[in-house]
Amino acid sequence: MFTDGMGVIAMYALTVLLAIPLGKYIAKVYQGNPSRNAGSALDFIAPLERLIYRLGGVDPNRQMNWKENLVALVTINLLWFIYAFFMLLFQGSLPLNPDGNPSQTPDLAFNTAISFLVNCNLQHYSGESGLTYLTQTAVIMFLQFVTAATGMAAMVLVFNALRTEVADKLGNFYVYFVKSITRILLPLSLVVALILAFNGTPASYDGKDTIVTLQVDTVGVSRGPAAGMIAIKQLGTNGGGWFGVNSAHPLENPNYLTNMVEDISIILIPIALVFALGHYINRRRLALVIYGVMTVGFMLLFFPSLFAEISGNPAIANLGVAQPLGSMEGKEIRLGAAASAYWGITTTATSNGSVNAMHDSMTPISGAMQMLDMMINAFYGGVGVGFLNFFVFLIVAVFISGLMVGRTPEFLGRKVEAREMKIASLIAILHPFLILVSTAISSYTLVNMPDADWAVKPGNWLNNDTFHGFSEMLYEYTSSAANNGSGFEGLGDNNFFWNFTCGLVLILGRYLPIVGPVAIAGLLAQKKYVPESSGTLPTDTGTFGLVTFAVIFIIAALSFFPALALGPLAEYFSLR
């Protein structure tokens, strides 16, 4: 148990140690002049970037306002969707399909395309049989790169609005987007993929291998160019695995070392981006306060989960069975309870959604913490979008604390007024709205028409009725709204009702929380910059951090208190 604990501490410490220089590097990447070299270590990529701009017909020096940037973002996303949908629809007849896997049905292709387009990676198929090597790499892996970069580019647009000298123009989305891939995601993925490949993760186009087991059965083992995709799956807070069971699969996550690398990859960029903010707008203290608030929140979610997992299942303890390894149901013995609990919290904190253990099998407290993590969705958060979510809470906190010191609220020299509050309020409401309303609809359907004549009768949706069943539904929608993509499983979700409702939640949960903060940023940037005076409320203090934390706790966490009480909390108190 001690070693387990040390492993978790080492993972977090290593992440922060790596994130500090990475943050500095990222800030430098985005600060660089688009047409010339940025002065970073990767300047040799610049010609490639220029080629991309020329091919795309993009003028990298053109400064765009927030509306133009959002139009660019949404248009290019739409193009990717069409591309992904048709690739999946015809994958069976396209090359690089050594295992002869079939094309996806239109509704599954639709679902898969949407799910990966929004960086959610909810999978209603199993990678080994549901995709070909071509679609795995050219659709899934492609989207894992570009959607992560989309979030990061949107975040840089918001960063720009926080700089003192900016007015109106927020920079060029395409430039930030391209650089995010060429200078951040691609090099990091290369490193992670190499480590994985050397530890046994497949990286071949040869199709299935076979082994003969001790029982002399011949078993086909799926392979493929997996290492590269798993790297970006972790780094880009994507989470959609090569294999069906994700990082619990021995080839996707072979040993404790790869587990550490993959888990560090989950939160490395989200933390580094907070530090990057400090360097980019030259407000290190503000970045530290934001990091502090996120970390306190993260730890408050992690520790209950950790203790719940290592102390084991009370139901088993009541049988008089000792659980020296903690609660091991649904976990990999090579990884252990502590590392699984840590992964569970990192993956839900960051909208990653990859798993190395089955969340359905974790103790109720872990379930509650993981859901709460996704309900808040701003403690580190997904690459780029995590900060955007946090930004909305920040604006609300700025407003309330600004009033409390007797000044029209202002954030980094820009006044926060009615229009910004309107957008911030709407975005803050959106997340509870999506989760609670959709869960309410599914609960209502389940209770009132259990025998509806559907492919899967609502009465048969749940493996568990009772509180755990409610948690399964709640988790599914929470995961969708947070664009997380992990599943509690135990839920019959591959049917029209769940595909449709989750798809809707996915789209709304992705684009509105990007559009909102960028719009706020655009509006703020247009305002006159007011230099700070001694009457201005400094936002880089612990006190302000406390207000932000309180706002997050009361808006995001407490709105879900009744729902959580009926799900994991009821289960937890019943188990004791």
Partner 1 sequence: MAKQSSPSLFQRELVGTAIRESFVKLNPAVLIRNPVMFTVEIGTVIMLLVTIYIALSGDTSQGSLGYNIIITLILFITILFANFAEAIAEARGKAQAESLRKTREETPAKVIRTLGRMKLDEVEIIPSSQLQKGDVFLCETGDIIPSDGEIIEGLATIDESAITGESAPVIREAGGDRSSVTGGTKVLSDRIKVLVTTQPGESFLDKMIALVEGASRQKTPNEIALTILLAGFTLIFVIVCVTLQPFAEYANTPITIAALISLFVCLIPTTIGGLLSAIGIAGMDRALRANVIAKSGRAVETAGDIDTLLLDKTGTITIGNRKATHFYPAPGINQTDMVRASALSSLADETPEGKSIVELARSGDFGTDVTRSLSIEGATLIKFTAETRSSGIDLPARLNGNGRATAGQNTDVIRIRKGAVDSIRVMVERAGNVFPAETDKKAKEIAANGGTPLVVAENDVVKGVVELQDIIKPGIQERFQRLRRMGVKTVMVTGDNPLTAKFIAEKAGVDDFIAEAKPEDKMNYIRHEQTGGKLVAMMGDGTNDAPALAQADVGVAMNSGTQAAKEAGNMVDLDNDPTKLIEVVEIGKQLLITRGTLTTFSIANDVAKYFAIVPALFISSIPALQSLNIMRLNSPESAILSAVIFNAIIIPMLIPLALRGVEYKPIGASALLRRNLFIYGLGGLIAPFIGIKLLDLVIGVFI
Residues that bind partner 1 (CB under 8 A): 396, 399-409, 413, 416-418, 420-422, 424-426, 428-429, 432-433, 436-437, 439-441, 443-444, 446-448, 467, 470, 528-531, 533-538, 541, 543-544, 546-547, 550, 554-555, 558-559, 561-563, 565-566, 569-570, 573-574, 576
CA separation, residue 456 to residues 157, 443, 452, 499 (Å):
44, 15, 9, 12
Contacts of 4 (CB under 8 A, 6+ apart): 310, 336, 337, 338, 339
Q: How far apart are CA 20 and CA 535, in angstroms?
A: 32
DSSP string, 288-342: HHHHHHHHHHHHHHHHHHHHHHHT--HHHHHTT---TT---TT--TTTHHHHHHH
b/e per residue 49-73 (b: at least 16 CB within 10 A) = beebbeeeebebeeebbbebbbebb
Q: How far is the CB of 297 from partner 1 (least distance, A)?
A: 16
Distance of CA 506 to the CA centre of its chain: 12
The one-letter amino acid code at 20 reads I
Element (DSSP H or E) covering residue 84: helix 66-89
Q: How far is the CB of 380 from partner 1 (least distance, A)?
A: 23
Contacts of 187 (CB under 8 A, 6+ apart): 42
Q: How far is the CB of 407 from partner 1 (least distance, A)?
A: 5
Q: Is 320 exposed, middle or buried (0-12, 13-18, 19+ CB in 10 A)?
A: exposed
Are the C-beta atoms of residues 140 and 168 closer than 8 Å to each other?
no
Q: How far is the CB of 97 from partner 1 (least distance, A)?
A: 43
Q: Which is nearer to partner 1, 20 or 400 (CB)?
A: 400
Q: Which is nearer to partner 1, 199 or 536 (CB)?
A: 536
Q: Which residues pair with 59 in a beta bridge?
A: none
Q: Which is nearer to partner 1, 31 or 536 (CB)?
A: 536
CA separation, residue 531 to residues 346, 411, 415 (Å):
38, 11, 11
Q: Which residues pair with 414 in a beta bridge?
A: 411
Q: How far is the CB of 567 from partner 1 (least distance, A)?
A: 9
Q: How far is the CB of 366 from partner 1 (least distance, A)?
A: 18
Alpha helices in 405-465 (DSSP H): 418-448
Closest CA to 267 of 354, 365, 195: 354
The one-letter amino acid code at 69 reads N
Q: How far is the CB of 37 from partner 1 (least distance, A)?
A: 35
Q: How far is the CB of 562 from partner 1 (least distance, A)?
A: 5
Q: Which is nearer to partner 1, 494 or 536 (CB)?
A: 536
Q: Which is nearer to partner 1, 83 or 433 (CB)?
A: 433
For residue 118 the two structure tokens come to 């929004």
Q: How far is the CB of 245 from partner 1 (least distance, A)?
A: 29
Q: Which is nearer to partner 1, 24 or 407 (CB)?
A: 407
Q: Which is nearer to partner 1, 325 or 566 (CB)?
A: 566
Q: How far is the CB of 202 from partner 1 (least distance, A)?
A: 43
Q: How far is the CB of 501 from partner 1 (least distance, A)?
A: 14
Are the C-beta atoms of residues 446 and 461 closer than 8 Å to each other?
yes
Q: Which is nearer to partner 1, 262 or 571 (CB)?
A: 571
Q: Which is nearer to partner 1, 264 or 416 (CB)?
A: 416
For residue 108 the two structure tokens come to 């599954």
Q: Which residues pair with 238 in a beta bridge?
A: none
Q: How far is the CB of 488 from partner 1 (least distance, A)?
A: 16
Pair type for strands 218-221 and 209-212: antiparallel
Q: Which is nearer to partner 1, 125 or 399 (CB)?
A: 399
Q: Is 6 exposed, middle or buried (0-12, 13-18, 19+ CB in 10 A)?
A: exposed
Alpha helices in 118-202 (DSSP H): 127-130, 133-135, 142-161, 173-179, 186-198
Q: How far is the CB of 471 from partner 1 (least distance, A)?
A: 11
